[in-house]
Amino acid sequence: MATLAADPQPGWEAVTRAADLRPGDVVSWDYKTERASGHAVIIAGMPSQAKDGSWVVKIYDATSSPHAEDSRPDDA
Neighbours of 43 (CB within 10 A): 19
Q: What is the pTM of this model?
A: 0.67
Which of the four pLDDT bands, split at 50, 70 and 90, describes residue 3?
low
Q: Residue 9 pLDDT > 80, yes or no?
A: no
| DSSP state letter for 4 | H
Mean pLDDT calculated for residue range 29-56:
84
Mean pLDDT calculated for residue range 40-45:
92
Radius of gyration of the chain (CA): 14
What's residue 67's pLDDT? Answer: 64
Q: Shortest CA distance to 41 belongs to which of 60, 18, 57?
A: 60
